[in-house]
Amino acid sequence: MDNLRRVCTPVANILDAPDGGLQRQMLFGDGFVVDRIDGDWAYGTRKGDGYAGVVGASCLAGWADPTVYVRDLGAHVYPEPNIKTVPLMHLPFQAGLTVVGEQGDFVELAAGGFVHQMQVAPISDVEPDFVRTAERYLGVPYLWGGNAQYGIDCSGLVSAALRGTGISGPADSGPQETGLGETIPTDAPLTRGDLIFWRGHVGLMFNNDLLLHANGHHMRVAFEPLLQAEERIVASGGGPITARKRIVI
């Protein structure tokens, strides 16, 4: 695919227009299919889910598909295979890296620089419990349109959790509600991993009564009793729960 580019910055913002509003984000190594470049801006779609928007052209470069991903909550890229050198950049959890070689305890990246092997895992390794991945974002600040540990929103948290399990789904809560999982009857008990939807919001059940979600009330990824969240969201005008869905892996 000649027009496929890879994100070469820790995070790349997908905007609705040049210098426009944040819609979603991509992580280092994510693919972006470029339709056209106009000045400093690349127009296209995110590989995997086809999310359309505008990305800074300087955030994109060309190399092969990632072979490993950052398994820790961040990894430093060093100019040499030496942890005592000044890092070139800091990469987020789940960033995809294309490895072109190894030197000692380090992998060498197609993008340039070195990452310690202890901080990466093969791209094929997945976490079967996607709630466990979501837990790793606990305390991350809320950011509308965010998809990274530097800032994340409700649907971004769900996307990140599913990404860790190898599932690619819709990017926003509305399409996630219609496109993910099977509907749970209202009289059926909830269990770990069930998705709870409101109008414009989504969270994951940590267990049968505790919700894990990124939200603008706490301004971070937080635990909250589901009943408390229901009452608070209704009181603030967000309306009742619109769907309860279960993803079977």
pLDDT tens digits for the chain (249 residues)?
A: 579 999 999 999 999 999 999 999 999 999 999 999 999 999 999 998 999 999 999 999 999 999 999 999 999 999 999 999 999 999 999 999 999 999 999 999 999 999 999 999 999 999 999 999 999 999 999 999 999 999 999 999 999 999 999 998 899 999 999 999 999 999 999 999 999 999 999 999 999 999 999 999 999 999 999 999 999 999 999 999 999 999 987
Q: How far is CA 167 from CA 135, 173, 192, 199, 210, in A?
A: 17, 16, 17, 23, 23
Q: Which single residue is written with the structure tokens 């800074």? A: 56
Name the H helices within the chain. 130-135, 154-164, 173-179, 226-235
Q: How far is CA 236 from CA 149, 155, 170, 196, in A?
A: 27, 20, 26, 17
Q: How far is CA 125 from CA 55, 163, 206, 219, in A?
A: 29, 11, 23, 31
What is the three-class DSSP state of 116?
Answer: strand
Sheet holding 96-97, edge to edge: 96-97, 68-70, 120-122
Q: What is the largest CA-CA distance in the chain?
A: 58
- State residue 168's pLDDT score: 87
Could you report how far apart the first and last alpha carbons of the chain are, in Å?
30
CB atoms within 10 A of CB 28: 28
- State residue 248's pLDDT score: 87
Cα–chain-centroid distance for residue 182? 22
Sorted by where each starts, the structural domains of the chain and their CATH numbers stand as: 4-61 (2.30.30.40), 68-122 (2.30.30.40), 130-246 (3.90.1720.10)
- State residue 124's pLDDT score: 94
d(CA 34, CA 245): 34
Name the H helices within 13-102. none
- State residue 51's pLDDT score: 95
Task: Tell me the pTM.
Answer: 0.96
d(CA 46, CA 18): 16
